[in-house]
Amino acid sequence: MATQTIVAKGIVGLFQPRSTHMVGDGFPVRNLFPSNELDREVSPFLMLDYAGPQYFASTNHPRGVGEHPHRGFETVTIVYEGVLAHRDSAGNAGVIGPGDVQWMTAASGIVHEELHEKEWAKNGGTLHAIQLWVNLPAASKMSSPGYQTILNADIPVVLLGAGAGRLRVIAGSYQGQNGPARTFTPVELYDLALTAGQSTTLTFSEGHNASFFILQGRVSINGSQTAGEAELIVCHRHGSQVTIAAQEESRLLVMA
């Protein structure tokens, strides 16, 4: 019987964030993509904005971004610290805090606002979040808009072997655990935490890209490329395995 050869994914490169700029008055973001050199390599992900971590003083006037339109893609907001409030023209509203995810399908068109939640803004605090844009297939771009509030408690957690850490499955699946996000395009979206000195190996479908954004710590990928806080490692589509080794306690967002 023939045996299947497992091939490690090669590295496209290490990418640094752009300088911080404000989105509205509540989101100090560093952008990782879009970029002409990355667009094909990270598809169907269109954009990654990294917000914070930054402290905001207390206020009675919640900061954020007022009403603005989107069309033809999905926005995914992941909160690590802080509390955000959402409202849109389809009548959806929701509040997300640490560990929660908001998955909004703009599709045929939607207008929404994203603000610091009122009570959190009154107290002040540190905001730390990521927003991704995910492209929709051509056949789905004129679908009806939709909205998913995905709470931390509803995201399955997989404990990695040998005390290496834990992996939260936001979308896709891992070791039999399915993420709660309903997606138009098959994607894997994981929140990965690794213990210092430990490693884990992830397997992806051949032909799928894989990218790793480092929120905390320092890691090496497949024993070669290293990356630290706010850096992005992008892997080639060819191959299926990626080994991530934590040089210190680390947290990553895995996108594939």
Residue 221 and residue 192 share a domain: yes
83 with 164, same domain? no
**142 shares a domain with 29:** yes
Q: Are residues 92 and 162 in the same domain?
A: no
For residue range 130-160, list pLDDT tens digits in order: 999 999 999 999 999 999 999 999 999 999 9
Please, are residues 213 and 48 in contact by the beta-carbon 8 Å criterion?
yes
- Picking from 152, 187, 209, the residue at the C-terminal end of a domain is 152
First to last CA, the chain: 31
Total domains, the chain: 2
Q: What is the pLDDT of residues 47-84, one digit of tens each?
A: 999 999 999 999 999 999 999 999 999 999 999 999 99
> Domain for residue 11, yes or no?
no
| 220 and 160 in a common domain | yes
For residue 82, which amino acid is it?
Answer: G
CA dist 131 and 119 (Å) reads 22
Q: List the structure tokens of 116.
A: 């610091």
Residues 137 and 41 in one domain: yes
List helix spans (H) across 52-125. Answer: 118-123
Residue 234 is part of a domain; what is its CATH number? Answer: 2.60.120.10
Does residue 53 sit within a domain?
A: yes
Q: Is residue 115 part of a domain?
A: yes
Residue 224 lies in a domain: yes
- Do residues 136 and 243 share a domain? no
User: Does residue 236 have a pLDDT over 90?
Assistant: yes
pLDDT score for 6: 80
Predicted local distance difference test score (pLDDT) of residue 40: 87
- Together in a domain, 73 and 174: no
Of 31, 32, 3, 39, the residue nearest 15 (C-alpha): 32
State yes or no: cis peptide before 44, omega within 30 of 0: yes
20 pLDDT tier (thresholds 50, 70, 90): very high
Residue 49 domain boundaries: 18-152
Residues 34 and 125 reside in one and the same domain: yes
Within a domain: 13: no
What's the CA angle centered on 73, arms 113 and 46, to 5 degrees? 100
Task: Check whether residue 165 and residue 146 sit in a common domain.
Answer: no
Residue reference for tokens 């908001």: 102
Whether residue 8 is contained in a domain is answered as no
- C-alpha–C-alpha distance, residues 254 and 188, integer Å: 7
Distance CA 34, CA 86 (A): 24
Among 65, 66, 97, 99, which residue's Cα sits nearest to residue 84? 97
Residue 3 lies in a domain: no
Q: Give the strand pairing for 225-228 and 218-221.
A: antiparallel
Backbone phi and psi for residue 122, each to the nearest 5 degrees, phi listed first: -65, -35
Q: Are 45 and 234 in contact (CB under 8 A)?
A: no
Q: Are residues 127 and 164 in the same domain?
A: no
What integer is the mean pLDDT of 119-140? 98
Tell me which of 126, 152, 178 is where a domain ends.
152
Query: Of 118, 152, 186, which residue is a domain's last?
Result: 152
Q: Are residues 130 and 184 in the same domain?
A: no
The residues that bridge with 14 in the sheet, in sequence order, are: 233
Backbone Cα Rg of the chain: 18
pLDDT band at 26 (very low <50, low <70, confident <90, very high): very high
